[in-house]
Every structure is written in structure tokens, then in C-alpha cells.
Structure 1
Amino acid sequence: MSEKELPAGWVWVRLSDVLSQPLINGRSVRTLGGGFPVLRLTSIKDGSIDLNESKEGAWSEEEAQPFLVTHGDYLLSRGNGSRKLVGRGGLVGDISNPVAFPDTMVRVRVNPKSMAPEYLRYLWDSPLVRRQVESLARTTAGIYKVNQKMLESISFPLAPLAEQERIVEALEGRLSSLDVAEGNLRAAHAKAEALMPRMMAALFCSVETKIHRLSDVAEVRLGRQRSPKNHAGDNMRPYLRAANVGWKGLLLEDVKEMNFTDKELETYRLEKGDIVLSEASGSPGEVGKPAMWNDEIEDCSFQNTLIRVRSKAINPHYLLYFLRCSALRGDFRAGARGVGIHHLGAAKLSSWSIPVPSGEDQARIVDALDTQLSALAAASEIFEGDRSIDRMASALRSAILNRAFTGALVPQDPTDEPASALLARIQAERAAQPKAKRTRRAATTPRKAKRAPAAAPIESAPAPSPTAAPAHAVQQEFDL
């Protein structure tokens, strides 16, 4: 947006033009119980500052005084490992107890005569400002950082003060509605996800069955361990690992290889209809996640991060649906063991109870689940991929903010005092303020004494012999 495109009464400014005080960084303070509170970086949440996110620091209230936050301050992060998060900030609301801000934040105080702090809050999250912040950020050791000079150079359109208030009011209404809609979509997605295992479990219970151990109807085997000696060899072959198994099937974009002898290949080769499950995961909900192998890759084996289940006396598709139901319901999660990494184990899975109906009922259940789950999956696609809730909400939010700061969200009022007049008045006030006098630093070395004018040479008396140097040098003082 060029300056010609600005609505009437608007003006382009830099952040430095609207500050009431210069930008300052906070102070680094180590944690100390009983000390004066200082905010954590995690206090920045959704455009606001959570004043409860603080720690007690090793400093006094007097030392913290220059860094106390006040209502209307805008605090933003100086650095982050993600370019999209660096420079994000939050507005300080009502303060019940005094608290300071840390060196990981920059404090922005705008002049309320020219800019409403709430206007800055929404403006700072707009695409216009975010593009500038992200382009200015510089990375050091993987951390993107911004500094005061960069931030002061950020330019943006400033609306008349009265219009700023109307923009803020409109944004609060529209963004609140967007938050409600986003919450409803997430709730609908969660219900759809929860409906799937309930639907599957209901079908498994709808017919007469006999309970068997899984090992009675299928072969259960843990995969081949990957070790350095197998990283190379004459028989390099493809193999699946836990990363190749997804909730919707196999993920075969990145399939690794390792050395398998012909005998090992016979043991670990996958066959059409085999089911592979994730044996372990750092996330308990991922344990036991199954997928079916359909001979996608020739002579492919599997690693010990997976368990292979090969049907012996049961419909493999029925088996797949039962295992997926157990995983989705959290049955495998409850049965997994381990700290940090949760393991299911081949022995545990072998003893797993499975309801086995007649062959006809198995086929009927598979047909019903194929139909019902395909319809449910189609509905769930609304929340995934390019149409995911996060993507849709982010795009809508950006569009609303873009309209707000191009003058398209609320109508202009010709009676509003133009932003240029506000800015000119503030600049005049700044110019009228007396400039602070510089205090000359005390000299670190004594002044040299002025050299006296040379006296006329005296020829009558010879020069005396030089005096021996004293043992300790003493500085001679002169009255100036």
C-alpha cells in the first residue's frame, strides 16, 4: 500500500514517531526465592501479557524500578528459534501487583495522544508489520533476533485517533467471533475423531464372537534390529520403520535400506496383507498405530520399531480394523510400558484378546466399516491439509487485520482530526522540550601544569649537579 492509497486523514509513520519513551530491553535476573518478580517470556500469549507467568528474581524493587511494566505497555520478544514467532508481543492490561520485564523482551510505550495501545496490539500482528519484522530478523546460532533500531524502523499507516478506536472495537468483535467459530470447528473435529473408534467398537460387539489370544489367529513378530554392521553390505534391501506408518496408511516417501542376508530376508520380508504396528513411541497415543502392507515395494522388510501381525485364521481387513480401534481408543496406550519411550512389545501384543466372529460376520463388519469410515473420513478432510482449522483461521485473521489497516474495515469520518495533525503536535512538543545537558566525565589523569616562560640564560653560575632520584616517586602538586 503506497502513501497515495491511504484513506483520508491517515499518514505513514515509523514506530519511532509515535513513542512516548525510547524502546528499552529488560534486564536479565537470576531466579531467587523471595526476590522481586520478573516476567517470563512465556507470559506473551495471544496478543496479551499473562502477568501470572513470572518468577522471583535476585534484585530489589528499587533495582527493578526502571523495568516495571504499566497498563498499556506492549512487550515483544527479542528472539526466537522460529522466524514466525520472533518479535511477537502482547499488551499489558490491569496490574494488581508490580512486576518487571526481562532482557528477553523489548518494551514499547506509545504516546496515547497519537496512538491507542490497543491499535498497536492488533497492528503488530497484521501481515504488513509481520513481513517487516521477519525480513529484518537476523539469526545467530539458530535464534532469530531483532533489536531496537530494527523495531524503530518499522513503518505502518496511522489512522486518526477516533478511527483507531472504531477499528479496535470492530476488530474485537470480528476476532472474537472468529475465535468462537474456530473453537466450534475444533470441537466438531474432536467429535468426529472420537466417533470413529466408538463406531468400530459397536460393530465388533454387534455379533456373536469368541475371544482368542491374538497369537491364536495371527503370527506376531518384532522386526530386525538396526545396527552399525548392517549399514552397508552386499544385500542392501528396503525396510519399514515407525516413521513409515501413519493413521491413514503407509508413508513411503522416505524408505531406508540396510543389509539383509537371504535367510534374514525370508524371516523379515513383508507379504501382502501383513499388518505393521508401531512398537514404541515418545507419544503414548502413537503406540500400536497400524497399517496394512500391499506389496508396494519388492522384497521389503521391517525394523524392530515395528511389529508385524500376519493373519493365520482371520480376515486381515477385520484384523486391521480391530487393531486400529484398539489404538484409537487408547487400549495400547494403557498397556504400553516405559519412561519417555512407551513400548508395546511383541509378547504383550501376542497375548492381546481379540473377538473373533464367524467368517461371514467378519466380512459383513469389514463392508460396514468400509462404508461408514469412508464417509467419516470425507467429513474429516474439512479439517485437514490446506483446509485445516489452523490454516483457515490464520488466513481469515490475516484478511481481517489487512482490511482494518487499509481503512476498509470501518468507514472514515471527515470530522476526525487527521493523524498528521496529531503527529505534528507531538513533534512540536518534543522539539519544545529542553534537551538534557551532557555531564562532562571527570578527567582520569591530572592536568599538566602550564609551562612557565623560559627565563633569560644566566652565565655567571654553573648548573648544579643533578639530584639523585628518590626511592619512591611522589607526584608534585601545583597551585593553578
Structure 2
Amino acid sequence: MTDTATHEATGSTLLPAGWATADLGDLLEIVRGISFPSTAKKFEPEDGYIACLRTTNVQREVQWDNLWFVPKEYLKRDEQLVKPLDILISTANSFELVGKVAQVHQMSAEATLGAFISLIRVPSQLDAKFFYYLLSWGRTQERIRNLASTTTNISNVSTKKLRTLTLQVPPLNEQRRIVEKIEELFTKLDAGVRSLEQARAQLKIYRRSVLKAAIEGELSHEWREAHKEKLEPASELLERILRERREKFAGKKYKEPISPDTSGLAALPHGWAWATVDQLASAKPNSLTDGPFGSNLKTAHYTGSGPRVVRLQNIAPHTFVDVEAHISEEHYEGLKKHAVYAGDLVIRALGEPAPVACAIPTWLGKAIVKADCIRFKPAEGYVSSPYIMYALNSHPVQRRTTAVIHGIGRPRLNLTEIKSIAVPLPPIVEQSRIAEEIERRLSVVDKLEGTVEENLKQAGALRQSILKRAFSGELVPQDSDDEPASALLERIRAERQVTKQKTGKKSVGSKRKDPADDWVPELFPKQGA
């Protein structure tokens, strides 16, 4: 413990007057979670069981839903019971999340904690909220991550290393003033963040309502009424599409495309018709096809450059996400029947919601689709690709499609089910008009969402700025009447020494062997948490 110059704890050259530094293990108690076999957990409370908090429960606040319950026999010490104001810390997680902390403010159930989180318990001589804010500060989080042992996909901070984390400690009264000021500022900041999150949610609802209005005819109602004498009915348009397909068919036996099952479908505006994806596909070969399955295309086939592979992660609503995967030119030639081209639609058939569609961008170049990614080339000159894309992404179409999705955990649509999806078909000119109006409105939403996200990002930066000022001694003034932190820390040390002598137990800061210090990522499946 020292009240002289500091270094990594604050990033400053000198500590504020009256402050001192100490290692975490000399101040605070660290309690590791329990270990248990994965077969012992239950998802509902039972007699003889206790709630077990996990890394998923360590959010900005402790989340008390999605709990596991384990037999109380795995609880070895009373100190492993979670108490109000305990600080939970994720000690085994991805590198970005290891060290994440949350403070217990209310207890929804008697609880312990799993093996991949620990609790940090602050003695009564210190302010527990102060140390929670200190541990959640971005600079402290970075320093905790630097203590971690990291493998390919998991990082672990042992108790031994966590004890060495240097913390800056103000006088107790200043700790309380700092907490009071942080919470005053955070209350105002949180109110602003809630407003931004509400705006984001409203924009999402508006985005959905635009697509719903589009495919139900409300978005183009006035335009349609003004031009109704000039519009070719969609029923005639559909017949022309099907007639051209029959005429261009060069095989042995022509198979009519799947017709829509209109039972239960809503009435459409005058001049519109229901049509399936199958009916609206181009007459050209492979206009509606899935990607290669099995050994024809595996991850091992990927190369550092070459033609692109369009995968599930590339397909977002109305948006092609540029996540790269490549195959060789030779492999591409062998799979060319699965090729996609600029302007084609690709449909995500796996996961929920489904379907989700986007257009292939002009800059993509040579590419094929992977399994569960459907290439859909609409009939040229008869169908507006942007309109069909928006229709497939609309909530009414996705809601109807949910009824036929099969699979548990990873629900999917097969190619026949994709072909059978029914969409409202307006006259071709109206399709283009609707697509233009959707794009106009959604472009405004995109800009507003961008503003909201930027403001949320700034709010996060402001939160960290407040914490930086707090732990640099700049948020509240120092008071010369406060007992210096060095005296406080010396008293804590002396009281702990007395307790050690009376009980014969090692102090919190001792070098007691913690079994979890020997934890290695390879044992991860054995921990049961």
C-alpha cells in the first residue's frame, strides 16, 4: 500500500491528495464459483436446489432470468452464497468479455455462482459501489484483460493474478462523494439513453409498418387510383410470365410451377394477384436453386482469394453484408450451376425469421451460393427485384412462412417451401413505384438510425469520461478534513491481522492456494457451468 506516485492504475503521474494504492487482494475478498457436472443442473427451482448465476447473467446489471439450479451439496462454503452489493466478475470468457462486472442490488433468489465467474466482496470499511464503478471503468477492464491467459477462443483470469490488480483508493468520505456524483450524472445520462433506445425501437416498428403497408397496397393507394385505367392487371402479367416460361422450355416434360394456396390469404387491392416465388422466377436455368450440400463445398475448400461464396452471414434484410469467403477458379467452374449474379436475390432459408432476402451487389463479381442460401432470379421485365425483396422481408410474409418452418434449434425452409411462398403481386409499373417509395422512406429511417447509434456511442464514451474523471480525482473536490486513504488502509490491514490471529485463518491477501488457479481452457467442458 502506498500514497506516493502511481502509474497504471490511473494513468496519471501522481495520485490526488489523500489517495493511496493497494493490490485488490489486500483490500477485497475474491470468492470463486462452484463446480458441478453438467448433468446436475436444472432449469426450474426444486427443493434442495439453489440458483446458480453464470456469465450470461453478468450484464450491466445482474440478470435474474435464465437461471440454472444445482443441488446445494455442491456449495462448499457459505462465502459462496451471493449477497447484496457483491460484485460479480466474469473470469472465463471471450477476450472481449473477460473481466466484465455487475453488482448485485437485489436478490431474486438465494444464489451461488458457477465456476466461470467470481464474486468480489468489499469490506464494510470501504464503499462497495465505488469499487464496482472502479472495476467497470474501461481502463480497469483493459488491465484485467491484460492479466488473462488466452487461447484461441477463451480467456481466463486466475484468482492469483486478479489479486495483483493495483487499485487507487480515495479517503472513505471521498469514495462516497464520488459515488453520489457518478450516480447523479449517470441518472441523467441513462434517461437520455432510454430515450434513444425508445427512438430506435420506434424506428424498427416504423420500418416494419412501411413494408406491411407496401405489400397490402396502402403505400401506393393514391397513385394506383390516379393510374388505374393504364395498369395491366397482375393476373394478366402472371399469365404472360407463365406463358413465356412454357415457350422457352427446352426439356422433355414441362412442369408447371407451384401455385399459391390462397385459402386464408387476405384480399388484395383491385388489379393485384397472389403469386408464388416459383411462379415469379425467370425462365432461365437455375433461376431458383439452393447451394451445394455436403462434400461438394466445405470450409476446407476456402481459399485466400478467388470467386466469392455467398453464405448465411452475408444475407441481412435488404442488405448484403460483406463478409468474405473464397474458392478457387477451378472449384467455381465445377459448381457454376449454383452461381449468382449482380441483381439476383439471395434468400436465407435457415434461422428465424425466414425468409430473409437481399440483392447481390454489382461489385461482387464471380460468386456461388452455399447450402441454405437460395439463388432467386425474378422474371426479367415482369417482376421488380427490389419489390419482391421487400415483400419477402415483410412481416406478414415472414409470419405466414413461420407456420411451415421445420427443425428444432436451427429451423429451416427447404427449396420446395421457398418456392411455395406466396407474395402479393401488383402490376409491374406499380411494383417499381412501391419499391421507390419504400426506398425513399427507409433511407430516412437509415439516417435517423445512424444518428441514434452515433448518439448511443457518444453516451458510452461520456460514461467512460465520467469514470475517468472520477478515478483521476477530478470529479469531486478533495477535502483536507478527510482521513487519508493510507490511514484507512493501514487500519484495514491491522484489523485483518487481528482477525487472522483470532481465527487462525489466512487473510484475504494471503497466498492461499485456490484450486481455480490451476484452471486451463482445456478443462472447460468439465466445469459444468
Q: TM-score, normalised by structure 2?
A: 0.68
Who is 2:471 aligned against? 405
Q: 1:272 to 1:430 in 2, by over 3 A?
A: closer
Q: Does 1:170 align with 2:181?
A: yes
CA contact (8 A) 1:217 1:313 kept: no
Q: Which residue matches 2:378?
A: 311
Classify 1:97/1:364 alpha carbon distance in 2 versus 1 (closer, same or farther; 3 Å): closer
Which of 315, 329, 346 aligns to 2:395? It is: 329
Aligned position for 2:272: 210
Q: Kindly report which structure 2 residues correspond to 1:465-476, keeping only aligned pairs within 5 A, or say none.
A: none
| Number of the residue aligned with 1:459 | none
Counterpart residue identity of residue 202, structure 2 = K
- Counterpart for residue 344 of structure 2: 274
Deviation at 1:211, TM superposition (A): 0.5
Between 161-170 and 416-425, report the one with greater CA deviation.
416-425
Displacement of 1:3: 6.7
How far apart, CA to CA, are the structure 1 residues paired with 2:341 and 2:108?
Answer: 67
Which of the numbers 299, 310, 314 marks the counterpart of 1:244? Answer: 314
**Alpha carbon RMSD of aligned pairs, Å?**
3.7
2:89 and 2:100 in contact (8 A); partners too: yes
Distance 1:426 1:305, change over 3 A: closer
Deviation at 1:71, TM superposition (A): 4.1
Residues 1:382 and 2:393 aligned together = no
- By how many angstroms is 1:226 displaced? 4.0
Aligned counterpart for 2:485 among listed residues 390, 397, 419: 419
Contact 2:84 2:104 in 1 (8 A): yes
Does residue 35 of the first structure (1) align with residue 48 of the second (2)? Answer: yes
Alpha-carbon distance in 1 for matches of 2:365, 2:495: 79
Letter in 1 for 2:272: K
Q: Is the 8 A contact 1:246 1:291 kept in 2?
A: yes
Residue in 2 aligned with 1:10? 19
8 Å CA contact retained: 2:53, 2:112: no
Aligned residues of 1:200 and 1:321 also touching (Cα < 8 A): no
Cross-structure match for 1:445: none
Match of 2:133 in 1: 122
Matches within 5 A, 1:51-200: 53=67, 55-59=69-73, 64-77=77-90, 79-93=91-105, 99-113=111-125, 115-139=126-150, 142-200=153-211
Map 1:220-231 to 2 at 5 A. 221-228=288-295
Deviation at 1:192, TM superposition (A): 1.5
Seen in structure 2, the aligned counterparts of structure 1 residues 289 and 417 have a Cα distance that, compared at 3 Å, is same
Alpha-carbon distance change, 330 to 9 in structure 1, aligned in 2, over 3 angstroms? farther
- Correspondence list, 1:255-294, <5 A: 255-257=325-327, 265=336, 268-278=338-348, 280-281=349-350, 283-285=351-353, 287-293=354-360
Distance 2:308 2:436 in 1: 33
Q: Secondary structure at the match of 1:37?
A: strand
Conserved 8 A contact 1:3-1:11 = no
- Partners of 2:324 and 2:314 in 1: CA distance: 8
CA distance in 1, matches of 2:461, 2:88: 25
Q: 2 CA distance for matches of 1:52 and 1:289? A: 28
Q: Does 1:338 align with 2:406?
A: yes
Kindly indicate whether the alpha-carbon contact (under 8 Å) linking 1:38 and 1:102 is maintained by their aligned counterparts in 2: no
CA contact (8 A) 1:315 1:362 kept: no
* TM-superposed deviation, 1:116: 0.8
By how many angstroms is 1:69 displaced? 4.1
Q: Offset of 1:364 from its aligned partner?
A: 2.7
Residue deviations 1:371-400, cap 9 Å, x none?
22222222222345xx384x4443232222
Instruction: Say which one has the larger Rg.
Output: 1
Q: Using the TM superposition, give the Cα deviation of residue 135 of structure 1 relative to its aligned residue in structure 2, in angstroms.
A: 0.7
User: Is 1:371 the equivalent of 2:440?
Assistant: yes
Verify the 8 A CA contact 2:344 2:378 in the aligned structure 1.
Answer: yes
Q: Any gaps of 5 or more consecutive residues in structure 1?
A: 440-480
Give the Cα–Cα distance (whole angstroms) in 2 for the partners of residues 374 and 139 of structure 1. 42
**CA spacing shift, 1:80–1:360, aligned 2, 3 Å:** same
Give the distance between the partners of 2:53 and 2:318, measured in 1 at CA: 40
Equivalent position SS for 2:324: coil
Whichever residue aligns with residue 367 of structure 1, its letter is E
CA contact (8 A) 2:34 2:74 kept: no
Structure 1 pair 297–116 and aligned structure 2 pair: CA distance change class (3 A): closer
Distance 1:85 1:275, change over 3 A: closer
Tell me, yes or no, if the aligned pair for 2:343 and 2:385 is still in contact at 8 Å. Answer: no
**Alignment check: 8 A CA contact 2:335 2:368 kept:** no
* Map of 1:394 onto structure 2: 460
- Structure 1, residues 98-124: CA drift from partner, whole Å, max 9, x if none? 6555554444333322x2111111111
* d(CA) in 2 for partners of 1:201, 1:95: 43
2:185 & 2:464 partners in 1: Cα distance?
12
Per-residue deviation, 1:126: 1.1
Change (3 A) 1:230 1:158: closer
For 1:256 and 1:209, the matched residues in 2 are separated by 45
Inter-partner Cα distance in structure 1 for 2:113 and 2:428: 68
Cα deviation digits, residues 205-254 of structure 1 (max 9, x gap): 1234320423444335123424535778xxx9655343333334334552
Which one is further off, 187-196 or 355-364?
Answer: 355-364
Instruction: Say whether the 8 Å CA contact 2:31–2:79 is kept in structure 1.
Output: no
TM-score (norm 1): 0.74
Identify if the C-alpha distance between structure 1 residues 295 and 437 changes in structure 2 by more than 3 Å, giving closer, same or farther.
Answer: closer
Structure 1 contact 39–100 (Cα < 8 Å) conserved = yes
Q: Which runs of 5+ in 2 are unaligned?
A: 1-9, 225-269, 506-529
User: Percent of counterpart pairs with the same letter?
Assistant: 24
Aligned to 2:60: 46
Q: Distance in 2 between matches of 1:263 and 1:53?
A: 50
8 Å contact 1:197–1:325 — kept in the other structure? no
Three-state SS of the structure 2 residue aligned to 1:291 is strand
Shift in Å, 1:136: 0.8
Q: What secondary structure does 2:346 align onto?
A: strand
How far apart, CA to CA, are the structure 2 residues paired with 1:252 and 1:101? Answer: 40
Q: Could you tell which deviates more after superposition, 147-156 or 358-367?
A: 358-367
In 2, distance between residues paired with 1:257 and 1:307? Answer: 18
Counterparts of 2:463 and 2:164, CA distance in 1: 25
Query: 1:177 and 1:209, CA in 2 relative to 1: closer, same or farther beyond 3 A?
Result: farther
Query: Alpha carbons of 1:67 and 1:209: their partners in 2 closer, same or farther (altered >3 Å)?
Result: same
Partner of 1:25: 32
Deviations 1:15-69 (A, max 9, x none): 23324xx5443443564853363633255442548599462424299x5435344
Which letter does structure 2 place at the counterpart of 1:155? T
